[in-house]
Amino acid sequence: MDGIIPLYKERGMTSFDCVSRLRRILKTKKIGHSGTLDPSVDGVLPICVGNATKVVEYLIQSGKEYQGELVIGKATTTEDFDGEVIETKPVEASISSELIKTAMQKMTGEIIQIPPMYSAVKVNGKRLYEYARAGEIVERPRRKAIISSFIMCRNEYDPIHQEQHVYFKVKCSKGTYIRTLVADLARSLGYPGAMKWLTRLESGGFTLDQTLSLNDIQDAVAHQTINRHLYPIDYALKEYPAVELTPAQWHSVQHGGWLKKDELQTVASDVVLKYDGSTKALYHLTAQGYKPTKMFSVK
């Protein structure tokens, strides 16, 4: 069984929990996911099965889209509602939508983030959340992220609790910490803030309406229809141009051979090579010609 399954990850499960259960359902150990989701986050989690595990890195590289809710007026240890409240500041009057939108606009493009202490980023071989749980403070690495779009969907003021609730959508690059992004948004408005909930709408080129739940997958296996739901590895490589090889070229590629620049009739820096309609390899252009980036099959 080879292919990609766009899984709907439910809240309360880790990404590893999903992989572990799918290994039992699909009866194979060769399974990987493209982009970890926190247990409290639901949404799109592309799963690679069999030979498709070779394209995990290309799925991860694609942009992602999320929707969620920011609560302005309190901060937590984890920057979401899984942590303990460590700071509060009453929002005594509603923050205007125009002010919030202006602040969001300033946070689009290339930004620098400092990941939260409760994250899986490693410092000196140890994950930040391990330091946090031990009560240790370490200097966290600064990371670049690309925010393509950061928009407000709804803005509500809660006069009883003196909190502002901002519902948002964001399109971003891999490695972006959304809880840090929205906590920083609250700070830019002069208040502490924490993310209440988050759903991933898109990842690896898959959208929420394409996903299957774990129960859906289990049912498909039971009814022997799972192959209908497997996307080919080509799906992860659709951004690259593809070239069909001749028998002689395929023989060379099978043995890891290079191809001359004028052999492929393309000027692309990266190209997918196919033979007999099947994706075989990804090659990249060098001064000497096209050389292998990754082989997917030699058969």
- Bridge partners, 193 (sequence order): 72
CA distance 128 to 118: 6
80 is an active site residue:
no
Active-site hit among 38, 42, 80, 184: 38
Locate tokens 């125009």: which residue? 98
Query: How buried is residue 252: exposed, middle or buried, by Cβ count under 10 Å (0-12/13-18/19+)?
Result: middle
CA distance 148 to 215: 34
Look up residue 298 and give its two tokens. Answer: 């030699």
Cα–chain-centroid distance for residue 106? 23
CA distance 210 to 22: 18
How many Cβ atoms sit within 10 Å of the Cβ of residue 298?
Answer: 11
Q: What are phi and psi of 248, to 5 degrees?
A: -65, -40
Query: For residue 43, what is the DSSP state?
Result: E
Cα dist from 67 to 163, 195, 221, 250, 263, whole Å: 19, 11, 31, 45, 46
Query: How buried is residue 273: exposed, middle or buried, by Cβ count under 10 Å (0-12/13-18/19+)?
Result: buried
CA geometry: angle 78, 81, 82, nearest 5 deg: 65
Catalytic residue set: 38
